[in-house]
Amino acid sequence: MERLLVLARHGQSEWNLKNLFTGWRDPGLTDLGVAEARAAGRRLKAKGIRFDVAFTSDLGRAQRTAALILEEIGQPDLPTIADAALNERDYGDLAGLNKDDARARWGKEQVHLWRRSYDVPPPGGESLKDTVARVLPYTMREIMPRVMRGERVLVAAHGNSLRALVMVLDGLTTETIPSLELATGVPLVYHLNADTTVASKDVLDRDA
């Protein structure tokens, strides 16, 4: 039994390029983001990886990334389940603001606290802790049972929603998870043991 779980952050978005807080806003992928998603699919195909089901968020940049990956693998019609539980962290009042402008308005230390602390939310938004509390129950209910019965599962989502999963899979703490960065368009390939612990992890980065 394979117990395969692949996590992929969406390719670069238009707001990633502009250095804007994005959150639940829904900008599209840049040309580079499209290329990153396609490259992710090619690297997975080169490893002989195919899927039984895909999960993604309610946001277009993650859904398009999933579609591009599956197109490259040769599975464009794979069943794909979209749910807001996998959405990016909600940045609240920061959404749409340039990160440098936010630092000028609230101060570098305050913005760093909002971005990198585990449990301090920005005004009107979610902390990473809040995001974990949203993502993990959905994952335990909908995604992990499929993995554990041998289905090969792709999750195409966002930096913070995927950090919630990596935190559990890699055994990271509330002190270490805020510093973790997930690159756009780089699949993380997990094979799990029967007790849900990680048997192996492979990062299919751009040099793979």
| Cβ(66)–Cβ(41) below 8 Å | no
Q: Treating both helix axes as pointing N-terminal to C-terminal, what angle do 128-138 and 159-169 enclose, rounded to 10 degrees?
A: 70
Indicate if 109 belongs to the active site: no
The DSSP line for 112-167 is HHHHH-SS-PPTTS--HHHHHHHHHHHIIIIIHHHHHTT--EEEEE-HHHHHHHHH
Q: Is 88 annotated as catalytic?
A: yes
Q: What is the token pair recorded at 164?
A: 């919630």
Q: How many other CB atoms are there within 10 angstroms of residue 170's CB atom?
A: 15
Structure tokens at 46: 């080169």
- DSSP state string for 51-65: -SEEEE-SSHHHHHH
Sheet of 198-203, strands arranged across: 80-82, 53-56, 153-157, 4-9, 188-192, 198-203
Strand 53-56 and strand 198-203: the pairing is unpaired
Catalytic-role residue among 14, 36, 72, 88? 88
Which of 10, 36, 72, 126 is labelled catalytic?
A: 10
Active site residues: 10, 88
